[in-house]
């Protein structure tokens, strides 16, 4: 197949390219390489996939030097003209759309960037699939669409009309937009509500990375809700294996939404303990209250996805943190 993956300088997109490259598909990766967080980290992810940052030209495909079937293009999702040119030229069989302005807290500070990337960019992806006859679109939604819920276990059948951050609102809007396009134009859309994905090459603005940085630099960790927050920490390998199965399996319904999580919530305090064990130090903690836009507990009911593709995450929190810390130490040349 000919597959477009957006967000390939990002965390999940990078790992997806690495995993999908084991197959015989032709892969095109797309990213704007914005500066929401370290551009250097994004360029290193690209470099690990054989894309030399110095050779990248906006709007032009760059072939990987290490992955024979992979090419990368730097492109803004809002650039309708060049995005349409890409769709017309490449004739994709599947689009896996992961690119977005991420982060709950940042949406409180810079709301317009979320509308531009997550709404305008998404409509351009939908229009590309519509106009150039792409039969399947797999796209990233988020567990944040559930908002504040009094249910510990979150199901795709739950009502999700009370998002408590603009980021969550844009992801819910994506799901509604996808439904409309599936209904009107007949191509399949599959939304994946990711639950707290972590692992090597992760995002620096997320808790595992922030905690690791504080541990290595002897800083105090700010622990929200006194560490009583529960998250369904999902290791990156379980995510990419699941996406591959969704890509390969033929599903009848035109519009689908699935939770993609670990189905096993972990207290933030317990996650920190795993980090301390791998780094071999005990970190100083500042226990603070809840942040605006956050929820106490998110826990994925993955029954629908398990029934559809046999999805079964199998990475324990101990093993996942071990792999993350090993990468972190090597990447940043840390010795503790």
Q: Which of 36-45, 87-96, 119-128, 207-216 has the lowest mean pLDDT?
A: 207-216
Q: DSSP class of residue 285?
A: E
Residue 8 lies in a domain: yes
Please report whether residue 267 resides in a domain.
no
Measure the CA angle with vertex 50, ends 31 and 137; round to 5°.
40
Q: Please say whether the beta carbons of 123 and 268 come within 8 A.
A: no
Q: Tens digits of per-residue pLDDT, 12-53?
A: 999 999 999 999 999 999 999 999 899 999 999 999 999 999
Q: What mean pLDDT comes out for the span 285-313? A: 87
Per-residue pLDDT band at 236 (split at 50, 70, 90): very high
* C-beta atoms surrounding 292 within 10 Å: 9
Q: Name the pLDDT band for 293 (thresholds 50, 70, 90).
A: low
Distance (Å, whole) CA 281 – CA 317: 18
pLDDT in the model for residue 106 = 75
In a domain, residue 49? The reply is yes
Position 179 in a domain: yes
Per the structure block, which two tokens stand in for 28?
């095109």
Residue 118 DSSP code: I
Does a structural domain hold residue 335?
no
Give the pLDDT confidence score for residue 111 in this predicted structure. 86
Half-sphere exposure at residue 176, Cβ-oriented, CA atoms within 13 angstroms: 12
- Among candidate residues 167, 258, 311, 328, the one labeled active-site is 167
Helix 236-248 vs helix 11-20: crossing angle, to nearest 10: 60
pLDDT for the residue numbered 172: 96
Q: Are 278 and 322 in contact (CB under 8 A)?
A: yes
167 is catalytic: yes
CA distance 169 to 316: 31
Q: Report helix angle 39-48 to 11-20, nearest 10.
A: 0
Q: Which of 205, 203, 176 is nearest to 191 (CA)?
A: 176
pLDDT at 265 over 80: yes
Residue with tokens 């993956």: 5
pTM attached to this predicted model: 0.94
Q: Which helix (H) or strand (E) holds 29?
A: strand 26-31
Look up residue 66 and give its two tokens: 């290490």
- 179-193 confidence digits (pLDDT tens): 999 999 999 999 999
* pLDDT score, position 294: 67
Query: What was the pLDDT predicted at 287?
Result: 85
pLDDT tens-digit readout, 137-185: 999 999 989 988 778 799 999 999 988 889 999 999 999 999 999 999 9
Tokens 């990766």 belong to residue: 29
More confident residue, 325 or 147: 325
Backbone angles phi, psi at 28, to 5 degrees: -120, 125
- Which one has a higher pLDDT value, 208 or 297? 208
Percent of the chain with pLDDT over 90: 76
Q: Tell me which residue range forms the domain holding 247.
A: 2-198+233-261+299-314
Rounded Cα distance, 318 and 215, in Å:
17
Q: Which two tokens stand for residue 65?
A: 């030097």
**Ramachandran category for residue 320: left, alpha or beta (phi over 0 → left; psi -120 to 50 → alpha):** alpha
**Domain at 147, CATH number:** 3.40.50.720
Q: What domain count does the chain have?
A: 1
């Amino acid at each position: 197949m000919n597959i477009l993956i957006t967000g390939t300088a990002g965390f999940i997109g990078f790992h997806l390219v690495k995993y999908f490259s084991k197959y015989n598909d032709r892969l095109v990766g797309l990213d704007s390489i914005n500066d929401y967080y370290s551009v250097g980290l994004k360029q290193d992810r690209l470099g690990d996939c054989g894309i030399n940052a110095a050779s990248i030209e906006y709007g032009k495909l760059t072939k990987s030097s290490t992955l024979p079937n992979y090419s990368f293009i730097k492109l803004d999702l809002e650039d309708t003209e060049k995005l349409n040119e890409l769709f017309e030229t490449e004739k994709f069989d599947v689009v896996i759309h992961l690119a977005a302005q991420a982060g709950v807290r940042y949406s409180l500070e810079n709301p317009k960037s979320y509308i531009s990337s997550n709404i305008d960019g998404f409509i351009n992806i939908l229009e590309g699939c519509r106009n150039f006859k792409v039969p399947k679109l797999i796209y990233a939604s988020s567990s944040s669409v559930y908002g504040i819920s009094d249910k510990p276990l979150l199901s795709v059948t739950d009502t999700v009309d009370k998002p408590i951050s603009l980021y969550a609102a844009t992801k819910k809007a994506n799901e509604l937009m996808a439904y409309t396009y599936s209904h009107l134009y007949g191509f399949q859309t599959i939304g994946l509500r990711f639950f707290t994905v972590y692992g090597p090459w992760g995002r620096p603005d997320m808790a595992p990375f922030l905690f690791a940085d504080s541990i290595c630099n002897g800083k105090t960790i700010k622990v929200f809700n006194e560490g009583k927050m529960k998250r369904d920490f999902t290791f990156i390998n379980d995510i990419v294996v699941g996406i591959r199965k969704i890509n390969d399996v033929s599903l009848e319904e035109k519009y689908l939404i699935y939770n993609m999580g670990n189905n096993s919530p972990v207290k933030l305090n317990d996650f920190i303990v795993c980090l301390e064990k791998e780094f071999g130090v005990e970190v100083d903690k500042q226990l603070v209250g809840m942040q605006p836009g956050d929820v106490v507990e998110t826990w994925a009911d993955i029954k629908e996805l398990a029934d559809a593709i046999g999805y079964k995450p199998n990475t324990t929190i101990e093993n996942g943190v071990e792999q993350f810390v090993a990468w972190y130490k090597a990447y940043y040349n840390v010795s503790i």
